[in-house]
Structure 1
């Protein structure tokens, strides 16, 4: 009797949409603190290239559909196979493999990445890109991370770049965030760097709890404590994610929790 293999269900997907020096690596750390969640760092926005390839290939197929591509004698034989759905299926499989790396898929219910290059999506392609993104990552969730733009632009990251480009890039990301809120409101959650790391303990806790509930569906007191502990860990190449003296200001000692290494995933199963 032939063996039957059950097809492994795809994980859920979560992506951090933001601009550089917004505290996105801290948000990445918070997400990796959550159970059965793996959120990788920046990857050069390689998916932008796959979108461009899909767009070009499907436009080509449409343009030459009139040339009898079903016949072996046609110069465009087989061009009908260039469909968005087929591209999406394989880009999804590749993305899952890349994001998991050496990790077992069985360890995670949700995976994704944070990226700061969303501004590279041309304005004219915004609708088309996210329609395609939905094909690749059905029901994807978006964490829209924000920080005061002037503070972000004051960092060394942006100061080494053309000022006009910096302003345009951050403004473009804000446009994309607004687009996602307007078109996919139930799949978006806003995080504010100033609130998460600010002195108002209740506001910070509310946002941390809301983020965990949005991503995982629940947030008990133990998970909230772990998220608070993550705030005390520096994140990024030039860490500013530490809460510095926040825990002291709050007069609360967070429990000792081992920081989560995104390369190995969270310890919780």
Structure 2
């Protein structure tokens, strides 16, 4: 995969959720595991990189030039034939931009400069509450992460929506609108998990009340053993925010 090196993380975990779902607890629990470095939110930074890759992949000025550049000159589009490879082409050089190479390069920079896995990190990743804000691009974005990082697993986290709507900044917004928005987010999670069951697990925040036994289910999905005292301490720790 694109960002894996001989000494780098062999797996990646991304926590996909919305605000006030209790995802910082999940982040903390995972970080009790040896070799795990799950970073916090980053403002959906990787989404901007994924959108840049998608533009190069789909924009007609890039895509048409890539297509025609691979054809013999006599088979090229009448408009593009005299332009491709010429310095007077308004999009000169666009035919040389490889979206897969761009994806690998951008995600390598993201991993190196944002995730910054340490020498002893075997599982890297991050949590983010903004994945659902571009619903039409949601599946493409997650697919791009799967294509770019080694051993990807997605943890979708949900919580009782009435509780979420009463929490934090959500409480300042119309309740019905909040719940409708978050239901749409959960539908995105469910659809993607149904399409990729081996790589996705949905965490229900309320089940943390079951204690370490529920955490064991999550860790079993991730193929990890549980350090019960460390997990119980993390569950008991009050979240400052």
Please classify the TM superposition score into its range, dividing by the shorter chain length: 0.7 to 0.9
Structure-2 separation of matches of 1:229 and 1:12 = 25
8 Å Cα contact 1:85-1:135 kept in structure 2: no
Task: Indicate how the Cα distance of structure 1 residues 54 and 138 shifts in structure 2: closer, same or farther if over 3 A, else same.
Answer: same
8 Å Cα contact 2:131-2:138 kept in structure 1: no
TM-score, structure 2 normalization? 0.81
Partner of 2:102: 87
Give the Å deviation of 1:46. 1.2
Task: Please state whether the residue corresponding to 1:107 is helix, strand or coil.
Answer: coil
Give the Å deviation of 1:180. 2.2
Partner of 1:97: 112
8 Å Cα contact 2:32-2:231 kept in structure 1: yes
Runs (5+) with no aligned partner, structure 1: 1-5, 238-269
8 Å Cα contact 1:22-1:152 kept in structure 2: yes
Give the Å deviation of 1:162. 4.8
8 Å Cα contact 2:115-2:126 kept in structure 1: no
Task: Please state whether the residue corresponding to 2:31 is helix, strand or coil.
Answer: helix
8 Å Cα contact 1:191-1:207 kept in structure 2: no
Structure-1 separation of matches of 2:114 and 2:12 = 11
Matches within 5 A, 1:7-86: 7-58=6-57, 59=59, 60-65=61-66, 66=68, 67=80, 71-73=85-87, 75=89, 76-86=91-101
Task: Please state whether the residue corresponding to 1:225 is helix, strand or coil.
Answer: helix
Task: Please state whether the residue corresponding to 1:112 is helix, strand or coil.
Answer: strand
Structure-2 separation of matches of 1:15 and 1:236 = 22
TM-score, structure 1 normalization? 0.73
Matches within 5 A, 1:178-257: 178-196=190-208, 198=209, 200=210, 204-215=211-222, 217-220=223-226, 223-237=227-241
For the aligned residues, what is the CA RMSD?
A: 2.3
Give the ranges of 4+ consecutive aligned residues of structure 1 lying more than 6 Å apart after TM superposition. none
Q: Is 1:128 equivalent to 2:140 in the alignment?
A: yes
Give the Å deviation of 1:154. 0.9
Task: Indicate how the Cα distance of structure 1 residues 161 and 107 shifts in structure 2: closer, same or farther if over 3 A, else same.
Answer: farther
Task: Please state whether the residue corresponding to 2:20 is helix, strand or coil.
Answer: coil
Structure-1 separation of matches of 2:96 and 2:177 = 39
1:140 to 144, 152, 156: 152
Task: Please state whether the residue corresponding to 1:86 is helix, strand or coil.
Answer: helix
